[in-house]
């Protein structure tokens, strides 16, 4: 089954599809390989001003999204029985990994709640079983860009989206290593030559060079990745 179904709950639905409507993901959207639905959180707001947030209990800066508003929106877009995971994009979340992206791509879709303000009332997180997901150790002004990053990473893995289904299998993180260096024509550029081995036609040697290049790069930039894959080869 393909047909990944993304439902995004946001205060800024006009941000979507944004970059997801262009290039690989945009073509796949047009081709019906995935579906994008946005829900305007303010439609579930309270009172004349459709308030979605309020001041934090205990005091302090910022505003907190109300649990009743959040729960109504989540349940409207994803009633009981919907098998899709419910994700809350938040810098507090578990870091998104390629393994999680792949698992999402293998599933029916996802409900994505984009946080804004200081946060979401904890009771909504628990009541709606929202899984908090972060795309990195930096703070965005809201979850919308994070949701787009997640969706983009998922969509490119869906069957029929990438031209060459093998090309994804050897890229960064799928092997546990960063990708090796790449070269193309011209043979000499600004006084730098393409490494001879890559022009030798000896595929075993080229493979060995790429493995070693990837390992060295990973050791220099991401020693944590190397430590995590001891015993792989």
**Interface with ligand ADE by CB under 6 A: which residues?**
89-91, 115, 134-136, 138-140, 143, 146
Q: Shortest gap between Cβ of 65 and ligand ADE (angstroms)?
A: 12
The residues near 156 (Cβ < 8 Å, ≥ 6 apart) are: 24, 25, 162, 168
The residues near 49 (Cβ < 8 Å, ≥ 6 apart) are: none
Indicate the pairing of strand 109-114 with strand 53-54: unpaired
* Residue 130 vs residues 66, 67, 158, 182: alpha-carbon distances, Å: 14, 12, 24, 40
Q: Shortest gap between Cβ of 52 and ligand ADE (angstroms)?
A: 16
Beta-carbon count within 10 A of 9 CB: 27
- 35 DSSP β-pair partners: 5
Q: Shortest gap between Cβ of 117 and ligand ADE (angstroms)?
A: 11
Question: What residue number has its CB nearest to ligand ADE?
Answer: 146
Q: Shortest gap between Cβ of 81 and ligand ADE (angstroms)?
A: 27
């Amino acid at each position: 089954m393909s047909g990944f179904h993304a439902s995004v709950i946001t205060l800024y639905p006009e941000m979507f599809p944004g970059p997801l409507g262009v290039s690989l993901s945009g073509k796949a959207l047009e081709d019906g390989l995935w579906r994008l639905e946005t829900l305007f959180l303010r439609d579930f707001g309270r009172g004349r001003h459709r308030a979605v947030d309020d001041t934090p209990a205990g005091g302090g800066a910022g505003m907190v999204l109300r649990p009743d508003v959040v729960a109504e929106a989540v349940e409207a877009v994803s009633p009981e029985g919907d098998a899709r995971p419910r994700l809350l994009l938040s810098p507090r979340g578990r870091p998104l990994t390629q393994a999680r992206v792949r698992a999402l791509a293998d599933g029916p879709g996802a409900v994505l709640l984009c946080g804004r303000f200081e946060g979401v009332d904890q009771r909504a997180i628990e009541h709606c079983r929202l899984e908090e997901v972060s795309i990195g150790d930096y703070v965005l002004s809201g979850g919308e860009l994070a949701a787009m990053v997640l969706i983009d990473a998922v969509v490119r893995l869906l069957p029929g989206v990438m031209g060459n289904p093998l090309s994804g299998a050897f890229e960064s993180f799928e092997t546990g290593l960063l990708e090796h260096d790449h070269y193309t024509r011209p043979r000499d550029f600004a006084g730098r030559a393409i490494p001879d081995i890559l022009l030798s036609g000896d595929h075993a040697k080229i493979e060995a060079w790429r493995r070693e290049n990837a390992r060295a790069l990973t050791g220099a930039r991401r020693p944590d990745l190397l430590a995590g894959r001891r015993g792989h080869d």
